[in-house]
Chains A and B, each alone.
Chain A
């Protein structure tokens, strides 16, 4: 599984990254987490609000920081 955290490095982006790591740990799933910080790369995902979360190439979150529980659900629904 590949997860990307989109954001130029604002507080919200860091929170999202930490929560994603926490969610993965809780689910005991291993995944690579990439940080996408360049604006041109963020824009190429069609994301206009940061932070954004991309799981296996699919944008699942943009513009808010979901809770750890919500991230768990998002990860689970994309593994199925």
Chain B
């Protein structure tokens, strides 16, 4: 039996899909049954609303996350930093920034690999500005954030986040390129001479790609499920108990300083997207404005203090400051635009 499954991973994966769909569509009636029939909680009370929200949203987001992380895990087996690097070699500045930002979304990346990747790009002569477009897009536009935005806010907000994230990555990288900051990279970086030995690609049968997808589920979902539960629990509390328009005075669109302030608070916060997005979603219902909420989430996810400390190993402080400043400015502009439009 086990061997049979090993050989036919694709069929197993395809057969699991209807089960997934069945589970997903029965979440709402199931929650309804649990909350009102099984627990027989009174309708339209704060506590009931909070419990309903929690019971419904946690499995929904986890189901979505499992599916998307699996799919992204498989898609990423078709990309690698090596391929991305050769695709970017010799590209002119602006085109390079666009390509780097797009590839940043699909290329396998974790913040622990940021330095080796940076060194690999610089060593191959990829311009600094193009490298930065990649380094900005890769963490900011990640599958966990997109799934949570899609699940809790709807596809419009998810799309908005991805597209504005791309614009920020492209333009911030372009500006850094124009500023000619190459001399603010640590000197030893330019002395590295890497062997360009062909690294053997892992045998890429579809079975191993599916294995990578399952690894991604174990890795990502295994890491973030607790934050999702905590975030949604806090969100549920906010939904049930915080009065309407409570946030309007701090995060409302008429408060001009709310956008820069939320970025200022967001940057040093290293909560992962999984914990922060459900809380922001709940605040949005209490009078916070979309632009401010978006700016806050982008600064939490896209700009993190630990990442900057890691980058200190290869970049001088001036370049780190320029990088953080330009991205923060981009996020603030996006926040204002959305507060103005909506």
Point out residues on A near B: beta carbons under 8 Å.
7-8, 10, 12, 39-40, 42-50, 58-64
**B195:A50 contact, CB within 8 angstroms:** no
Closest approach, in angstroms, between the C-beta of A33 and any C-beta of chain B?
20
List 30 interface pairs A-B (beta carbons < 8 Å), by A numbering.
A7-B112, A8-B115, A10-B112, A39-B115, A40-B192, A44-B194, A44-B195, A45-B194, A45-B195, A46-B197, A46-B199, A48-B82, A48-B85, A48-B117, A48-B120, A48-B121, A49-B80, A49-B108, A49-B116, A49-B117, A50-B113, A50-B116, A58-B200, A59-B197, A59-B200, A60-B200, A62-B199, A63-B80, A63-B108, A64-B202
Which residues of A sit under 8 angstroms from B196, Cβ to Cβ? 46
Chain B interface residue number, banded: 20 to 34
Using Cβ atoms and an 8 Å threshold, which residues of chain B touch A44? Answer: 192-195
Q: Is B307's CB within 8 Å of the partner chain A?
A: no
Contacts of B197 in A (CB 8 A): 45-46, 58-59
Nearest residue (CB) in B for A67 is: B211
**Least CB distance, A42 to chain B, in whole angstroms:** 5
Which residues in B have some Cβ–Cβ distance to A below 8 Å?
Answer: 80-82, 85, 108, 112-113, 115-117, 119-121, 123, 188, 192-197, 199-200, 202, 212, 215, 313-314
CB proximity of B213 to chain A, nearest CB, Å: 12
Taking a contact as CB atoms under 8 Å apart, the answer to whether A12 and B112 are in contact is yes
Q: How far is the CA of A39 from the CA of B311 in the complex (A)?
A: 11
**In the complex, what residue of chain B is closest to A45 when comparing beta carbons?**
B195
Q: Would B120 and A46 count as touching, CB distance under 8 A?
A: yes
Give the docked Cα–Cα distance between A70 and B102 (Å): 32
Q: Do residues B199 and A59 form an inter-chain contact, with CB atoms below 8 A?
A: yes
Inter-chain contacts of B192 with A (CB < 8 A): 40, 43-44
Are A43 and B113 in touch, CB under 8 angstroms? no
* A16 CA to B202 CA, complexed, in Å: 16
CB of B236, distance to nearest CB on chain A (Å): 31
CB contacts (< 8 Å) of A49 on chain B: these are 80-81, 108, 113, 116-117
